[in-house]
Amino acid sequence: MDIPKFLTDLMEARSPSGYEFESQKVIDRYMGDKADVYKKDVMGSRHAYLNEGKTPLVMLSGHMDELGFLIKYIDDKGFAYFDTIGGHDLSMISGRRVTILTKNGPIPGVTGKRAIHLLDSDERNKIPKQYDLWIDLGCKTDKEAQSLVEIGDPVVYDTPNTSIINDKVITGRAFDDKVGTYVVMEVIHRLAAEKSSLECGIVSVASVQEEVGTRGAITSSFSIQPTVGIAIDVGHATDFPSCDQKRFGKVDLGAGPIIARGCNINPVVFEKLIGCAKAAEIPYQIESEPYPTGTDARSIQISRGGVATGLVSIPLRYMHTPTETAHLDDIENTIKLLCAFTKSLTPGDIFEF
């Protein structure tokens, strides 16, 4: 099985929160003429509708932003310091190739670190402070660095293209949540031909700024006013060494989409998702979420007077690292589940309980 080209193109797009320009271009290219109505908003999110105006209206949301860094200060020798965008593991930042996205195009750099030989024994086991990390631009002076890079320029890891490790297991920089964006938009592609038989409206949202507070989902769910909202994100697979399943629950890579259950989830939507998975013989896993989740679902649910909300996640190993790892079957089964769920909706559906 090949990696779908739309997903590969999204993965290659560099789109740290607030600077989602490259992802937006990819989505515009694939979706501009596929939806009945295709909208951009002032946050930068994208809304692709089929059957706009029909109710119930289901909103599928996958966020297009990713983690990154933001240039904050350049010292007199031309080394650049930065803030983090999103939840980084500070122990993983040093020793990477990075790309700074400047107004004149991408500039390469590396995150430096003092070699092990030059560290005191107590320094060797320490996690660095963010302000002790720097980007080496290969410059000699602050003037030279300032001619290349400006304060507020965003940065992402420069990692090789998304690739297959073995069989259907794939790795890349930002499945979180380009894979969700791909899935919600692919649902529009697949349902477009049969939209006249759908008894609902559907809008797929590529939301922005999820990693810094689900901000695109807040504005999109307000403007769209959906009946049902489903966030599609990545969820922690817990099937690798060091992950205690007593503590984190049991989620396996390749064992199907994760359907969340808990206070963030409308119980009618949950049961409907499970029913659709069973009827279509789609494998699935259930996760318990006692609090509002760290996904777009947290904001969709409490938009206006409340939205009947679900969360479907694609199992992912090594979240928020440059080597996030997913399974092609889980991606395909998530698309199938959302298509089945959308087809099951009718004007008579009641989500109050």
Do 63 and 208 meet the contact criterion of CB atoms below 8 Å apart? Answer: yes
Q: If you search the block for the tokens 């060091």, which residue do you land on?
A: 242
Least gap, CB of 88 to Zn ion (angstroms): 11
201-207 and 57-63 strand pairing:
parallel
Nearer to Zn ion, 171 or 342 (CB): 171
Nearer to Zn ion, 83 or 136 (CB): 83
Q: Which among 66, 210, 211, 287 is annotated as catalytic?
A: 210
* Order of strands across the sheet that contains 169-172: 163-166, 169-172, 324-327
Least gap, CB of 342 to Zn ion (angstroms): 25
Closest CA to 38 of 49, 27, 29: 49
Binding site for Zn ion (CB under 5 A): 176
Do 334 and 280 meet the contact criterion of CB atoms below 8 Å apart? Answer: no
CA distance 276 to 287: 17
Nearer to Zn ion, 57 or 297 (CB): 297
Q: If you search the block for the tokens 């390469």, which residue do you land on?
A: 108
CA distance 140 to 301: 51
Least gap, CB of 306 to Zn ion (angstroms): 25
Nearer to Zn ion, 176 or 296 (CB): 176
CA distance 255 to 253: 6
Nearer to Zn ion, 176 or 329 (CB): 176
Nearer to Zn ion, 237 or 339 (CB): 237
* 20 backbone dihedrals φ, ψ, rounded to 5°: -85, 20
Token pair listed for 204:
């797929």
Least gap, CB of 211 to Zn ion (angstroms): 5
CA distance 231 to 188: 15
Nearer to Zn ion, 83 or 142 (CB): 83
In sequence order, what are the beta bridge partners of 47?
A: 39, 205
Has 210 been annotated as catalytic? yes
Least gap, CB of 60 to Zn ion (angstroms): 18
Do 21 and 103 meet the contact criterion of CB atoms below 8 Å apart? Answer: no
Contacts of residue 115, Cβ cutoff 8 Å, sequence gap at least 6? none
Residue nearest to Zn ion (CB): 176
Least gap, CB of 202 to Zn ion (angstroms): 24
As a residue count, the chain comes to 353
Closest CA to 302 of 252, 249, 231: 231
Least gap, CB of 294 to Zn ion (angstroms): 7
Q: CA–CA distance from 118 to each of 93, 114, 115, 308 (Å)?
A: 19, 6, 5, 56
The residues carrying an active-site annotation are 210
